[in-house]
Structure 1
Amino acid sequence: MMSGVANAASDGVISVASQHDVNQTAERMLSILEQKGMTVFNQVKHSDGAEKVGIELRDTQLIIFGNPKVGSPLMKCQQLIALDLPQKALIWQDEAGKVWISYNDPQYLAKRHQVAGCDPVFGKIAGALAGISKAAAN
């Protein structure tokens, strides 16, 4: 189980503890993304889908978002990064009832896809994701 405000796992996932329930956290994140001019491509409520087929799943929502002005140049550097774009934020409740916002570490994605020549962009993305997640969580 995770603890603390933010954890960077060795598998390239960063998780931030939220002070709100899953729905409130998702609504806060959607509002922040809109304020920042991001495109929200989809919101997947996995727990609702599971319920429809008789499977009990703790609250789990995925928000898919991004900014083509940022993502497109990354794809130009290394087209395979499109496998992991647009950005995704998973808002979920763990077995202890704690709510988390988890997302892919941009530096991990840069290494995974061996992206060269776009290093400053990954730093900006990392800062933006950290700020958005912290604001949605608090």
Structure 2
Amino acid sequence: MNDEDMYTWPSPLGVSETVDLIVATLAHVGAKVFAVIDQQAEARAVGLDMQALTLILFGNPRAGTPLMQADPTCAFDLPLKLLVHAHDDGRARVQMLRAETFVSRYDVPANAAGVFTGAAALLESALLKAPRAP
């Protein structure tokens, strides 16, 4: 996947604080958080080491179900996924699939992009308003 296929936002916070901020933001707007997977913890559990990396699966079944009804294979990219990982400066970077990439992959209506663009706007706003880490 190319960088242009992903939204990418810097976070002023570390990975765990960014994950907490995102989960709280999603809960505030009524989005469902299906899973929060701490990949670093999973690696450590089998004796491996990696930088902090967390995957958040979230969405709204009212928005996603019609898309999967139109093209069941789009379930590969639904629910929506956010990758929160450590950047070289110790702060987090947040990434999510771009709306245009999703629409180009599946036989879904063009307005399906709104599911992604709405989530992207919400997340970008939350990250911009986040308190700066000391």
Question: Shared fold (TM-score greater than 0.5)?
Answer: yes
Q: Which runs of 5+ in 1 are unaligned?
A: 1-7
Report the TM-score, using the length of structure 1 for normalisation.
0.84
Alpha-carbon distance in structure 1 between the residues aligned to 2:18 and 2:124: 9
Given that 1:107 and 1:126 are in contact with CA atoms closer than 8 Å, whether structure 2 keeps it comes out as: no
Report the equivalent of 1:87: 80
- The CA RMSD measured in Å over matched residues stands at 1.8
Matched residue type, 2:3: A
Q: State the 1:62 CA deviation.
A: 0.6
Q: From 127, 132, 137, give the equivalent of 2:123.
A: 132
Alpha-carbon distance in structure 2 between the residues aligned to 1:35 and 1:47: 27
Q: From 8, 14, 17, give the equivalent of 1:21.
A: 14
Percent identity between the aligned chains? 27
Q: State the 1:96 CA deviation.
A: 4.1
Q: State the 1:130 CA deviation.
A: 2.9
Given that 2:82 and 2:94 are in contact with CA atoms closer than 8 Å, whether structure 1 keeps it comes out as: yes
Report the equivalent of 2:113: 122
Structure 1 ranges of 4+ moved more than 6 A: none
**1:31-80: CA deviation from partner (whole Å, max 9, x where unpaired):** 01101101111100000111112211111111111100000111122221
Report the TM-score, using the length of structure 2 for normalisation.
0.86
**Secondary structure in 2 matching 1:33:** helix
Q: State the 1:121 CA deviation.
A: 3.2
Q: From 17, 24, 27, give the equivalent of 1:31.
A: 24
Report the equivalent of 1:9: 3
Matched residue type, 2:14: D
Q: Which runs of 5+ in 2 are unaligned?
A: none
Count of residue pairs brought into register by the alignment:
128
